[in-house]
Structure 1
Amino acid sequence: MLYDYLIVGAGLFGSIFAYEANKRGKKCLVIDKRDHIGGNVYTENIEGINVHKYGAHIFHTNNQEIWNYVNQFAEFNRYTNSPVANYYGEIYNLPFNMNTFNKLWGVTTPEEAKQKINEQKESANISVPNNLEEQAISLVGTDIYEKLIKGYTEKQWGRSAKELPSFIIKRLPVRFTYDNNYFNDRFQGIPVGGYTGIIDKLLEGIEVQLNTDFFTHRSELMKSANKIVYTGMIDQYFDYEYGTLEYRSLEFKTRVEDTDNYQGNAVVNYTDRETPYTRIIEHKHFEFGTQEKTVITEEYPKEWKQGDEPYYPINDEKNNLMYKKYKKLADQETRVIFGGRLATYKYYDMHQVIGSVLQVVKQEFQ
């Protein structure tokens, strides 16, 4: 049987494309090399708690159209992302706001906080920042940098902040209000019942094959459909012709704790250099859970190598130039649509993935 579309990857991009194509009467086959649908937004029920298997996913957007779109498939709760930072046992609010400044310096007015930051910026005497460390200090001063940025960032990227390019921290959210809401977006929340329920609804009535690696069965799969929607790594699709694009990867250690409340917040960042993980996620707090037990996940960043799951593209000059070469090849492929974070070598938030796939759908079915 010839399908209209073979969709490689059952994540957000692939599932929405399949849903929209199916709605228009197109015959689709969705494949995924993992043993589950949903890609990185997959949630698994453990102890009655929806566990975000691949890190915290908090939906947020300013776009009314995208918000309305996802609300077709799930009811969203009122969860507000307010992470806290743990620096050697001292607790600070993120993003940097008046609560943070009060804890750091005992200041109580925005004027005092601004003065403190400006004093530190001036004494650092950085005219043109040459690296991430200098960029961060020139934005927020030395205290915030040392306690809340340096250790976390060096763990995240596996390099000294002096070796990292300044563009990684172009701007840091600094608020002179007592507002712990991490995102400024108008719409924010977590789908009640987890993200997997959304993907289930998107793929309803569509043929899905899991544990299926596109590259193992490439030639027969390419013949099975008129067009291919590819959401995997773009360099792998072209057999690494120009080299391998670089990523940072993550390792997750998840366990059940015999307590109803482990840390009092969904996300706690560990900003010192010595703690090996960057954050602990306590999943029940995303949905205001009252279960007797709790499930926590420690998140360990690591250097990516082939075979690992790629999470964060390293969008430095060298990798971006290599991606542009692959993009040229991709543009010449008449039967293949490239989409999603791996195929476009971009770090996307969920609402950006949805925006991009809806744009592709518009062009494909105009």
Structure 2
Amino acid sequence: MQNQKPFDYLIVGSGLYGAVFAHEAQKHQKKCLVIDKRDHLGGNVYCEAVEGINVHKYGAHIFHTNDKAIWDYVNRFVTFNRYTNSPLANYKGDLYNLPFNMNTFYKLWGVTSPQEAQEIIASQTKKYQVKTPKNLEEQALSLVGEDIYYKLIKGYTEKQWGRKAVDLPAFIIKRLPLRFTFDNNYFNDTYQGIPIGGYNKLIEGLLKDVVCKTGVDYFLDKTHWDQMADTIVFTGKIDEFYGYCHGKLEYRSLRFEHETLDQPNYQGNAVVNYTDAETPYTRVLEHKHFEFGKQNKTVITREYPLEAAAGNEPYYPINNAKNSDLYKKYKAMAANDEVIFGGRLAEYKYYDMHQVIAAALSKTKSLFGS
């Protein structure tokens, strides 16, 4: 008779997918072990306390959803504040409201009525109407016209993707929302906010009483860790799990430059995008504004996009035809494996936070019931 393994589930990665899975499994009397190669729990939603400010260590994370059940779920672990995402765009020193709305159009053209704005956009998009746009630039120009595209889209997008807009597929921009109201709320979702006290509170609540180990690289001793549990839940890169046997999936990465400033307020807003091509970073975050902080100092973060490579964390997939075909090969392997793959990297899919949580809850419901 085989020796019983000490855990039912080994969960590789302590981000939202892994944390929610562990919580739900533990709730159903399953023994879980969570390991993470970083020196902290929480994956990319981890916050670091600096000068009393919760710094979003791996970029801005703003929770938003229309799903009341998901909203109620996260609020079981931490109370969310009333933060509303209203980013600004800085184009060569001029500031514009995002998303594109009447405040944006007023700044661009001095118009005060929706009809005036619609007429200008229609006149600018008319000459770019083609049945099948060949690239992102053609698609964007056909949707919003020259002024919005060249000032607020082109430079930012090319920095973000590390490629010229004419070399990017049109489907990346399926639509560009235009609001003909004076509304700077970036998201249309009913529920929105930031956990009071930071996202660590959410992760701590989810992983309470779960055995967790940080600073552990699963691949350095995969055989040992696989022997610790009956089932593996893997939230890392699916291509890495299979030893890159079909080749490497491509990701975009980010470099974060954090700076503590001896002043109470740097830019007056949590998020400012830099949409010109000359500024090397895509945006500047001022973290205290996510929680309406009144500290005497402030912490800002400049985000520099770059290709994911050895030593760079992968942040989001490059969903072009080449990578989609490659992922299908790994997905076919996973279908014949007993490993559970979940999350942005394991499913090679751009997930928002509420979608990751929903995916984890769907999986655990299928395994354990409600």
> Secondary structure of 1:356's partner?
helix
> Secondary structure of 1:162's partner?
helix
User: In the alignment, which of 156, 160, 171 is matched to residue 160 of structure 2?
Assistant: 156
Deviations 1:333-366 (A, max 9, x none): 12x1100000000011000000100000011113
| Distance (whole Å) between structure 1 residues aligned to residue 230 and residue 254 of structure 2 | 36
| Distance (whole Å) between structure 2 residues aligned to residue 215 and residue 11 of structure 1 | 18
1:252 and 2:247 correspond: no
| Distance (whole Å) between structure 1 residues aligned to residue 347 and residue 310 of structure 2 | 18
1:354 and 2:345 correspond: no
1:38 and 2:42 correspond: yes
> Secondary structure of 2:165's partner?
coil
> Secondary structure of 2:252's partner?
strand
| Distance (whole Å) between structure 2 residues aligned to residue 159 and residue 331 of structure 1 | 34
| Distance (whole Å) between structure 2 residues aligned to residue 124 and residue 11 of structure 1 | 43
Structure 2 counterpart of 1:292: 296
| Distance (whole Å) between structure 1 residues aligned to residue 129 and residue 64 of structure 2 | 37
Which deviates more, 78-87 or 116-125?
116-125
Indicate conservation of the 8 Å contact 2:33/2:212, yes or no: yes
Structure 2 counterpart of 1:49: 53
Shift of 1:125: 4.7
Query: Amino acid of the residue matched to residue 168 of structure 2?
Result: L
Shift of 1:23: 1.1
User: In the alignment, which of 129, 133, 140 is matched to residue 137 of structure 2?
Assistant: 133
| Distance (whole Å) between structure 2 residues aligned to residue 267 and residue 38 of structure 1 | 22
Shift of 1:217: 1.0
What is the identity percentage for the equivalent residue pairs of Structure 1 and Structure 2?
Answer: 64
Structure 1 counterpart of 2:68: 64
> Secondary structure of 1:340's partner?
coil
Shift of 1:123: 3.1
Structure 2 counterpart of 1:302: 306
1:263 and 2:267 correspond: yes
* Unaligned 5+ runs, structure 1: none
> Secondary structure of 1:343's partner?
coil
Which deviates more, 183-192 or 305-314?
305-314
> Secondary structure of 1:215's partner?
helix
| Distance (whole Å) between structure 2 residues aligned to residue 225 and residue 123 of structure 1 | 61
| Distance (whole Å) between structure 2 residues aligned to residue 327 and residue 361 of structure 1 | 20
- Structure-to-structure mapping, 1:273-352, within 5 angstroms: 273-334=277-338, 336-352=339-355
User: In the alignment, which of 214, 237, 241 is matched to residue 241 of structure 2?
Assistant: 237
Shift of 1:270: 0.1
| Distance (whole Å) between structure 2 residues aligned to residue 150 and residue 172 of structure 1 | 13
> Secondary structure of 2:54's partner?
strand
Per the normalisation by structure 1, the TM-score is 0.99
1:175 and 2:179 correspond: yes
Deviations 1:243-280 (A, max 9, x none): 00000100000010111000000000000000000000
> Secondary structure of 1:192's partner?
coil
| Distance (whole Å) between structure 1 residues aligned to residue 219 and residue 129 of structure 2 | 53
Shift of 1:224: 1.0
> Secondary structure of 1:51's partner?
strand
Shift of 1:306: 2.8
| Distance (whole Å) between structure 2 residues aligned to residue 126 and residue 298 of structure 1 | 37
> Secondary structure of 1:216's partner?
helix
Shift of 1:21: 0.9
> Secondary structure of 2:202's partner?
helix
> Secondary structure of 1:300's partner?
strand
Structure 1 counterpart of 2:128: 124
| Distance (whole Å) between structure 1 residues aligned to residue 79 and residue 217 of structure 2 | 33
Query: Amino acid of the residue matched to residue 359 of structure 2?
Result: S
User: How many residues align structurally?
Assistant: 365
> Secondary structure of 1:341's partner?
coil
Which deviates more, 246-255 or 17-26?
17-26
Shift of 1:24: 1.2
* Unaligned 5+ runs, structure 2: none
Indicate conservation of the 8 Å contact 2:156/2:274, yes or no: yes
Query: Amino acid of the residue matched to residue 191 of structure 1?
Result: P
Cα distance change of structure 1 residues 125 and 356 upon mapping to structure 2, 3 Å threshold: closer
Indicate conservation of the 8 Å contact 2:235/2:342, yes or no: yes
Shift of 1:124: 3.4
User: In the alignment, which of 105, 114, 119 is matched to residue 110 of structure 1?
Assistant: 114
Structure 2 counterpart of 1:214: 218
Indicate conservation of the 8 Å contact 2:258/2:299, yes or no: yes
Query: Amino acid of the residue matched to residue 236 of structure 1?
Result: E
| Distance (whole Å) between structure 2 residues aligned to residue 121 and residue 34 of structure 1 | 47
User: In the alignment, which of 204, 208, 212 is matched to residue 204 of structure 1?
Assistant: 208
Per the normalisation by structure 2, the TM-score is 0.98
| Distance (whole Å) between structure 1 residues aligned to residue 50 and residue 70 of structure 2 | 29
| Distance (whole Å) between structure 1 residues aligned to residue 156 and residue 346 of structure 2 | 28
Cα RMSD for the two superposed structures: 0.8
